[in-house]
Structures are given as C-alpha cells and as structure tokens.
C-alpha cells in the first residue's frame, strides 16, 4: 500500500485540491523546492528575526515549512491547485502521509503554523500578536521539517501518485 492510500487520499484527492503534474525527474523537482525552502529559512526568516521583525520571521518560516511540505508532494507528482484552501490542502495531504515520520508535520503544529501565519499576513486586529518566542518556534519547526523531509527523501522517498487503474508512468517504479 502506498503512503497516499494508507493516508486515505484516494480516490478523491485529485478533485479535493491536488493535481498531478509531469516531470522527467520528480526527485529533482523536490530537491529544488527543498533548496528554495532552505534559502527562505536561512536568509529571510533568520534575518527578519535578527532584525526584530517577528511577523516577517514567522511568515518566512511558514513559507519555508510549506515549501518543504510541497517538496514531499512533488516527489509524488502532486501539487496544490492554488486558490482558496490550497494551503489547507497541502496541510491535510502532508500531515496525513508524513506526520509519523516527520513529527514537525503533525496536524496540530501545521494548523497552528498556518493560522498564525494567516493572521500575520492578513492583519487581524483580534489575533494575539506574534511574539519573539512564536517566531523562534516557527523557525525551529521549519528547520525540523526540512531535516525530516531530507531524511525521508534520502531513505524511502514516496512514489508518483497514481489513480487506481492508472498505468504506471515513467519514474513511478511501476509499484
């Protein structure tokens, strides 16, 4: 059984905010996303925190965290369709498949991260202000997610997502 089958993502996942994409090298696509995530964390998030911009640090750390999650989906030839709910779609798919192997992607942590980022990105006067401790937590969680994703991708990367009855495609391992 595949990760996505075990996580209950079939057969409706493609219609529920995920779409497949083609690539000659899904591993390279995932690696490119991990590189982007690393740069966002190391240059933008850390610099913002060092400069006292806790909201900016939190948002940049979330971006790195989300890109890391998207890398895990990319190895399966999947991505969010975009638009309303796309971040939640990534959250649901990645938490369901990878939280056991990458505790940083546990559903409560992912949801806290996403909701707090939303309040920082789209000013919410009723939201509690983001503190330096919150921003430090966000950087740590993004760093943990990156390390976990690298470990999963180096050890037992997920395979290309295939709908039931779909013929195996190049790079899927036919498994």
Confidence of residue 61 (pLDDT cuts 50, 70, 90): very high
Domain extents in the chain:
24-155
107-134 pLDDT, tens digit per residue, is: 999 888 888 888 888 888 888 999 999 9
At residue 101, φ and ψ (nearest 5 deg) are -80, -25
Cβ burial 72-105 (10 Å sphere, 16+ → b, else e): bbbbbbbbbeeeeeebebbbbbbbbbbbeebebb
The predicted structure's pLDDT at residue 6: 55
pTM for this one? Answer: 0.82
The predicted structure's pLDDT at residue 124: 82
Confidence of residue 161 (pLDDT cuts 50, 70, 90): low
Q: Which residue, 154, 152, 19, is CA-closest to 81?
A: 19
The predicted structure's pLDDT at residue 119: 84
Q: Say whether pLDDT at 10 is over 90.
A: no
- Averaged pLDDT, 31-60: 96
23-37 pLDDT, tens digit per residue, is: 889 999 999 999 999
CATH superfamily assigned to domain 24-155: Nucleotidyltransferases  domain 2 (1.20.120.330)
- Averaged pLDDT, 11-19: 62
Confidence of residue 169 (pLDDT cuts 50, 70, 90): very low
The predicted structure's pLDDT at residue 9: 53
Q: Say whether pLDDT at 170 is over 80.
A: no
Measured CA distances, 50 to 53, 59, 90, 128, 136 (Å) = 8, 14, 29, 21, 10
Q: Say whether pLDDT at 7 is over 70.
A: no
The predicted structure's pLDDT at residue 79: 86
Q: Enumerate the β-bridge partners of residue 80.
A: 18
- Averaged pLDDT, 73-100: 85
């Amino acid at each position: 059984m595949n990760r996505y089958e075990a996580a209950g993502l079939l057969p409706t996942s493609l219609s529920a905010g995920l779409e497949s994409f083609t690539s000659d090298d899904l591993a390279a696509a995932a690696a490119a996303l991990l590189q982007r995530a690393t740069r966002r964390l190391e240059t933008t998030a850390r610099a913002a925190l060092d400069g006292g911009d806790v909201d900016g640090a939190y948002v940049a750390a979330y971006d790195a965290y989300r890109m890391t999650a998207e890398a895990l989906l990319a190895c399966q030839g999947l991505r969010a369709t975009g638009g309303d709910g796309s971040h939640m779609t990534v959250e649901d798919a990645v938490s369901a498949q990878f939280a056991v192997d990458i505790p940083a992607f546990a559903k409560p942590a992912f949801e806290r991260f996403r909701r707090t980022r939303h309040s920082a990105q789209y000013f919410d006067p009723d939201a509690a202000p983001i503190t330096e401790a919150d921003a430090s937590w966000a950087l740590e969680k993004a760093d943990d997610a990156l390390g976990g994703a690298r470990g999963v991708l180096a050890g037992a990367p997920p395979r290309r997502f295939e709908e039931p009855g779909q013929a195996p495609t190049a790079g899927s391992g036919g498994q």
